[in-house]
Chains A and B, each alone.
Chain A
């Protein structure tokens, strides 16, 4: 049973570029959440997708956008990259129909902005 998988593992970009990160949820899960974890900090919630729609959003600018596909996989897009966007980006999946079940996390994509 595959867990949450993210790609790529590492990515290096320069300021002003755009990036797309990908996530496949754990089998049986239908909801995907994205988090940004800066070095030495706890993860910060970016947004959550369910039924191909953004359901909740954290305090992140519109440069951060996402998408969910019919197979429940998801993408995180970041435009006009800033040095401060350097972080570990974590994807978490869960199932809407079960209460009190925890979110399962992938190993993340480490994004470095030069």
Chain B
């Protein structure tokens, strides 16, 4: 079956530091890949997505590139802010990404300090 593996947290960074959160996946076919963010007490918000190999998703300074050869979708940001502190989830969908079920990783907590 499908699975997603994320680096364990928590990740603690100083403001303006570079962020990488690793994500690898196992799936049949050509899944769509997503990063969701969850702030305390809230649901999940879509951060970015990529639907085919070599696509780069980007939003709010975050980027991730769909690498089929390494089955990876690592999240990066060049300069984090305190407001980026949250839990980040990597996820995949195996049917074009719209109405198919999502398979999530266990999440990576990011804490950014001044």
Contact = CB atoms under 8 A, between A and B. Distances in A.
Q: Interface size for chain B: under 10, 10 to 19, 20 to 34, or 35 or more residues?
A: 20 to 34
A71 interface: no
Given A41-B107, A42-B107, A103 B102 contact: yes
A99 B97 contact: yes
A41 B45 contact: no
Contacts of A31: 99
B32 interface: yes
A100 B45 contact: no
Contact of A50 (B41, B46, B99): B99
Contacts of A90: 43-44
Interface of A: 4, 31, 33, 35, 40-45, 48, 50, 55-56, 58, 90, 92, 94-96, 98-108
7 contacts: A43-B102, A44-B104, A58-B101, A95-B98, A99-B98, A100-B51, A105-B44
